């Protein structure tokens, strides 16, 4: 409150007794600790017609809109004064007069000029003391005066015959005091004259704070601040202090890069701030921050050089592989550049002459910006020394001027001509040795020096040498198949490798020595010279001929080479698929039809080996070259894989007709039809086992960088032990073969129901889109081959997915598995799990089968509860519906059960379906699926705003 009056007045000055009998007294009141105080008193209670006036000086209004007068006075009640009845009064009156200026001193006092404010009565007059005396009590009364609109006013007190002592008069107005709220300051504010309206006041942000939403407060009539709105926030480099009243600067070692009411953060690792109010921490010497790094991220540095760079060369490709640097510099965005130089011969001073490699050298996947730790190099010149430098880069490498850290390897590509060794015979074997021999070529191009035999046990190798055309490789493991590569070194250097040969050591029985022989095609023989043959033994487990031969253990996985990167696709077939002698193939019967010709089953009868059951895909006569290429493309892809859950390529027949692809035989055929014929016959654990197998195969493919694009139950084959293997690789590019594939707006052919939205929309196929398809395969498996999204059109599937709809859990599906499916169907591809994560999740489920016990058994527990179901009109009858799903025989069951409308069946549970007498589990499943499908279609119709 602000006093208006008395301002700077002494006890004598403020009130003037006007034409009256008010007089100034000195009194002692207990309320004033009995100190003497001055009062104006009047007490002419015995005399009638009293009219005594006391008037204030001129009081300036200042900012006041509403003026209050507080009067403190004592008043004797008439009863306490004997013989005064009739004349004694117990009230006095308060008046006021507004003027713009003080009245001239000579102005006559005219009571009629004054307006009455109120009649004032006392609340208290006497109190009883302990001694029984009656003591006058002080009264306090407050009145509002006005409205006062002129510059000032006078107050006047009229006595009409009471006994009063006026102790004090205080005149004041109310204001909302200046304040700090939400980091904004609000000035002193006078409320509105009209008590029902508030004064809106805009605050100003305190120092080092900035406005977000305009800060506001409202000043109420009683001088209270009300309704705080908006706020200010601390500027960068500052944090809030003292309950949002002030912003203080960040201390050294702390920073704040974004305005807001958060605290200053400690400088991230390898950075510091030395001053107050730091908005950024500067990187310590030798550490950097990339342009896109958030300021909260630790400063990082370039990586050290890659380690253990090794090379492998075969006839057509040169492979480099390395290990990540020991110091990644604190970052994860590591990439590698492979730089190449040709270093041929030396100049006159004995210095090696190096120049940039030829531009048409092909690096697969590329030379720069590699994210993996291997690269394949094609189209290199023979008889050449290449030096490859591999450098590791990360997001801050570009900010550093210091020398680059490289790892080098020099590779000599010289080959002294084509393979000289063609036939290798296995003469005999024991459980730990194999005896080999080979014939000599009649006319070798140049003298052969000697044989060197290298052999590999797991990931390390040993070697032995021989000058003769035979060798006994000892120290092998029993009952193990080894792959042999042979090449000769002549005086001119190495020849190309021979084909692969597989030989097996004998079983673990010391008495049995295998005397089998293997006949293979001859590409060259060795003449009567001393010669060197290198036998390279690959342990089958480690992979095909592309496996690196390393002196150190090597954990890496091969990279898939796209056959399309070969100019001549037949080269890719030669490289990755074995040519089979047609007479070794024994066709038994036709088992199906593929896009290029029949699929048959039969045996592969290779002399010296056990018969193998095989499926034989044939290319029908009258094909065009393009057909042949597309047909064999699958073989050159499949031939690169070696995994128990990927269909195994036995070989191809390309040199005679019909052209054939021979793969392992899978007794139970395609997974989708297999499950359909065995509806409800497996345990959940068996189904999970199948899914696990598929996940193993897909983990292998994705690790190799191969994207399948057409993962679906129809492309998984099942063997007699229920092992599932991924197949159908030819379609990764064109998908012509898949009856499910439909043309998209971009012109590609895509199996819509199995394909991730980003792949449909912009052709973005990746292992993440394969994961989406894997989720659909999970759903197919758990529903025993049900068609995903039932009878919905492709267009409706795309729209529903876009609207966030996902397939509900199939009947009897454990909740955990459905959750995994939903995870695979995340719209954002980067949020989907990876195959190795899916695999370890499935492994955990298998180890802990109780996690599979919670089933989604009832349609009512699906994501759309019955209450949410649209109230749709009946557009077909129950009879039509049952006819459409070939379940007409249950019409009466539905009628008898009281289900006469589609509306009524939409909430049916599997229990309800059993209750009305549908006993066969396959029929229960078909009906419940169709109900789900109806619900989905109705949901979609509702979403699209279409009125049925």
- Residues labelled as active-site residues: 710
Whether the bond between 333 and the residue before it is cis, its omega within 30 degrees of 0, is no
Smaller CB separation from ligand ACK, 675 or 908: 675
Q: Which residues contact 112 (CB under 8 A, 6 or more apart)?
A: none
CA 905 remoteness from chain centre: 39
Give min distance, CB of 730 to ligand ACK, in A.
11
- For residue 493, the number of C-alpha atoms closer than 13 Å in the C-beta half-sphere is 12
Determine whether the annotation assigns residue 812 to a binding site: no
For residues 731 and 709, the answer to whether their CB atoms sit within 8 Å is yes
For residues 489 and 415, the answer to whether their CB atoms sit within 8 Å is no
Determine whether the annotation assigns residue 395 to a binding site: no
Cα separation of 464 and 102, whole Å?
A: 127
Give min distance, CB of 598 to ligand ACK, in A.
9
Burial class from Cβ neighbours inside 10 Å (0-12, 13-18, 19+) for residue 804 reads exposed
For residues 426 and 531, the answer to whether their CB atoms sit within 8 Å is no
Q: Which residue in 909, 908, 902 sits closest to 937, CA to CA? A: 902
Give min distance, CB of 612 to ligand ACK, in A.
12
CA angle 615, 621, 623 (to 5 degrees): 105
Smaller CB separation from ligand ACK, 226 or 590: 590
Determine whether the annotation assigns residue 292 to a binding site: no
Determine whether the annotation assigns residue 663 to a binding site: no
Q: Does an H or E element contain 846, and which? A: helix 835-847
Smaller CB separation from ligand ACK, 113 or 737: 737
For residues 394 and 303, the answer to whether their CB atoms sit within 8 Å is yes
**E strands in 766-858:** 813-814, 855-856
Cα separation of 821 and 835, whole Å?
A: 12
Give min distance, CB of 664 to ligand ACK, in A.
6
Burial class from Cβ neighbours inside 10 Å (0-12, 13-18, 19+) for residue 583 reads exposed
Determine whether the annotation assigns residue 592 to a binding site: yes
CA angle 26, 29, 30 (to 5 degrees): 155
Contacts to ligand ACK by CB under 6 A:
591-592, 594, 599, 615, 647, 663, 665-666, 669-670, 673, 717
Sign of CA dihedral 105, 109, 110, 116: positive
Give min distance, CB of 344 to ligand ACK, in A.
49
Give min distance, CB of 647 to ligand ACK, in A.
6
Retrieve residue 124's tokens: 């208290």
DSSP 8-class letter at 235: P
Give min distance, CB of 674 to ligand ACK, in A.
7
Per-residue CA distances from 343 to 128, 354, 360 (Å): 122, 4, 17
Sign of CA dihedral 728, 734, 739, 743: positive
Give min distance, CB of 902 to ligand ACK, in A.
35
Give min distance, CB of 651 to ligand ACK, in A.
14
Smaller CB separation from ligand ACK, 81 or 599: 599
For residues 753 and 794, the answer to whether their CB atoms sit within 8 Å is yes
How many helices and strands (H and E) does the chain possess? 14, 54
Residue found under tokens 């390279």: 536
Smaller CB separation from ligand ACK, 46 or 590: 590
Q: Which residue in 310, 309, 300, 305 sits closest to 325, CA to CA? A: 305
Smaller CB separation from ligand ACK, 593 or 876: 593
Smaller CB separation from ligand ACK, 593 or 874: 593
Retrieve residue 43's tokens: 């007490």
- Which residue pairs from 892-901 have beta carbons closer than 8 angstroms and sit at least 24 positions apart in sequence? 893/917, 893/918, 901/874
Give min distance, CB of 614 to ligand ACK, in A.
8
Please give the backbone phi and psi of residue 447, each rounded to the nearest 5 degrees, phi first: -65, 135
Smaller CB separation from ligand ACK, 91 or 673: 673
Determine whether the annotation assigns residue 879 to a binding site: no
Cα separation of 464 and 622, whole Å?
A: 51
Determine whether the annotation assigns residue 591 to a binding site: yes
CA 765 remoteness from chain centre: 18
Residue found under tokens 């590569």: 485
Give min distance, CB of 929 to ligand ACK, in A.
21
Give min distance, CB of 393 to ligand ACK, in A.
44
**Strand-strand pairing, 2-5 and 59-60:** unpaired
Per-residue CA distances from 800 to 555, 742, 743, 805 (Å): 43, 17, 18, 5
Smaller CB separation from ligand ACK, 613 or 766: 613
Retrieve residue 371's tokens: 């994210």
For residues 810 and 779, the answer to whether their CB atoms sit within 8 Å is yes
Cα separation of 812 and 215, whole Å?
A: 58
**Strand-strand pairing, 448-457 and 532-539:** parallel
Determine whether the annotation assigns residue 507 to a binding site: no
Smaller CB separation from ligand ACK, 423 or 670: 670
In which region does residue 851 sit, left (phi positive, over 0), alpha (psi from -120 to 50) or beta (all else)?
Answer: alpha
Cα separation of 738 and 743, whole Å?
A: 11
Smaller CB separation from ligand ACK, 215 or 697: 697
Q: Which residues are annotated as a binding site?
A: 591-599, 617
Instruction: Provide the annotated binding site for ATP.
Output: 591-599, 617
């Amino acid at each position: 409150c602000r006093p208006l009056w008395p301002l700077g007045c002494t006890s004598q000055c403020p009130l003037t007794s006007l034409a009256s009998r008010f007089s100034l007294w000195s009194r002692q009141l207990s309320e004033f600790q009995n100190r003497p105080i001055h009062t104006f008193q009047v007490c002419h209670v015995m005399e009638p017609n009293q009219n005594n006036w006391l008037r204030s000086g001129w009081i300036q209004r200042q900012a006041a809109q509403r003026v209050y007068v507080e009067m403190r006075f004592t008043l004797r009640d008439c009863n306490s004064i004997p013989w005064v009845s009739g004349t004694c009064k117990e009230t006095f009156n308060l008046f006021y007069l507004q003027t713009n200026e003080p009245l001239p001193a000579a102005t006559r006092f005219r009571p009629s000029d004054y307006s009455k404010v109120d009649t004032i009565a006392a609340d208290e007059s006497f109190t009883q003391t302990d001694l029984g005396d009656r003591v006058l009590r002080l009264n306090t009364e407050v009145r509002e005066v006005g409205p006062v609109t002129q510059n000032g006013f006078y107050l006047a007190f009229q006595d009409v015959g009471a006994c009063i002592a006026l102790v004090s008069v205080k005149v004041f107005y109310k204001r909302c005091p200046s304040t700090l709220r939400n980091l904004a300051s609000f000035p002193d504010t006078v409320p509105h004259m009209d008590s029902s309206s508030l004064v809106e006041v805009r605050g100003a942000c305190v120092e080092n704070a900035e406005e977000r939403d305009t800060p506001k407060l409202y000043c109420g009539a009683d001088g209270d601040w009300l309704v705080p709105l908006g706020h200010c926030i601390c500027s960068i480099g500052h944090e809030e202090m003292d309950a949002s009243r002030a912003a203080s600067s960040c201390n050294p070692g702390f920073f704040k890069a974004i305005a807001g009411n958060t605290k200053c953060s400690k400088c991230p690792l390898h950075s510091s701030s030395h001053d107050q109010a730091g908005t950024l921490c500067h990187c310590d010497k030798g550490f950097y921050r990339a342009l896109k790094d958030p300021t909260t991220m630790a400063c990082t540095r370039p990586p050290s050089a890659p380690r253990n760079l090794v090379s492998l060369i075969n006839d057509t490709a040169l492979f480099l592989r390395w290990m990540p640097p020991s110091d990644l510099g604190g970052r994860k965005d590591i990439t590698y550049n492979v730089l190449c130089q040709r270093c041929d011969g030396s100049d006159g001073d004995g210095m090696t002459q190096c120049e940039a490699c030829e531009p048409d050298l092909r690096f697969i996947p590329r030379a720069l910006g590699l994210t993996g730790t291997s690269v394949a190099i094609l189209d290199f010149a023979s008889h050449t020394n290449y030096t490859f430098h591999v450098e590791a880069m990360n997001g801050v490498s570009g900010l550093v001027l210091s020398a680059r850290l490289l790892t080098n390897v020099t590779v000599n590509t010289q080959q002294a001509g084509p393979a000289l060794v063609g036939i290798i015979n296995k003469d005999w074997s024991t459980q730990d040795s194999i005896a080999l021999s080979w014939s000599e070529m009649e006319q070798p191009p140049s003298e052969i020096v000697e044989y060197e035999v290298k052999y590999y046990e797991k990931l390390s190798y040993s070697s032995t040498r021989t000058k003769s055309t035979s060798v006994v490789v000892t120290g092998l493991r029993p009952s193990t198949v080894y792959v042999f590569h042979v090449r000769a070194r002549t005086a001119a250097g190495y020849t190309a490798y021979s084909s692969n040969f597989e030989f097996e050591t004998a079983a673990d029985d010391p008495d049995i020595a295998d005397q089998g022989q293997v006949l293979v095609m001859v590409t060259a023989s060795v003449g009567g010279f001393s010669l060197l043959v290198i036998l390279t033994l690959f342990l089958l487990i480690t992979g095909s001929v592309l496996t690196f031969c390393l002196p150190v253990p090597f954990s890496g996985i091969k990279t898939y080479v796209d056959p399309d990167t070969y100019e001549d696709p037949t080269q890719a077939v030669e490289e990755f698929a074995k040519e089979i002698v047609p007479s070794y193939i024994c066709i038994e019967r036709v088992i199906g039809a593929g896009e290029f010709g029949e699929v048959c089953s039969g045996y592969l009868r290779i002399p010296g080996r056990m018969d193998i059951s095989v499926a034989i895909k044939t290319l029908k006569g009258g094909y065009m070259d393009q057909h042949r290429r597309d047909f064999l493309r699958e073989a050159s892809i499949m031939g690169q894989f070696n995994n128990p859950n990927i269909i195994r390529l036995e070989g191809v027949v390309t040199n005679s007709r019909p052209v054939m692809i021979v793969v392992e035989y899978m007794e139970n055929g395609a997974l989708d039809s297999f499950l359909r014929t065995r509806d409800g016959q497996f345990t959940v654990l068996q189904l999970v086992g199948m899914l696990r197998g598929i996940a193993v195969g897909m983990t292998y493919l994705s690790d190799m960088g191969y994207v399948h694009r057409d993962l679906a139950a129809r492309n998984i084959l099942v063997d007699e032990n229920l092992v599932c293997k991924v197949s159908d690789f030819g379609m990764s590019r064109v998908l012509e073969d898949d009856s499910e594939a439909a043309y998209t707006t971009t012109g590609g052919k895509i199996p819509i129901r199995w394909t991730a939205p980003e792949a449909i929309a912009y052709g973005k196929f990746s292992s993440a889109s394969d994961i989406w398809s894997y989720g659909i395969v999970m759903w197919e498996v758990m529903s025993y081959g049900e068609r995903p999204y039932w009878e919905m059109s492709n267009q409706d599937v795309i729209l529903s997915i876009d609207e966030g709809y996902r397939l509900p859990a199939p009947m009897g599906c454990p909740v955990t598995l459905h959750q995994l499916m939903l995870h695979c169907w995340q719209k954002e591809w980067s949020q989907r799990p990876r195959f190795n994560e899916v695999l370890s999740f499935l492994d955990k489920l298998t180890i802990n089968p109780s996690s599979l016990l919670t089933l989604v058994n009832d349609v009512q527990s699906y994501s759309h509860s019955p209450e949410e179901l649209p109230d749709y009109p009946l557009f077909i009858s129950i009879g039509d519906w049952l006819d459409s799903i070939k379940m007409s025989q249950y019409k009466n069951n539905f009628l008898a059960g009281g289900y006469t409308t589609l509306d009524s069946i939409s909430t049916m549970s599997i229990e309800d379906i059993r209750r009305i007498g549908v006993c066969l589990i396959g029929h229960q499943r078909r009906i419940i699926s169709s109900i789900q499908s109806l619900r989905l279609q109705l949901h979609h119709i509702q979403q699209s705003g279409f009125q049925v």
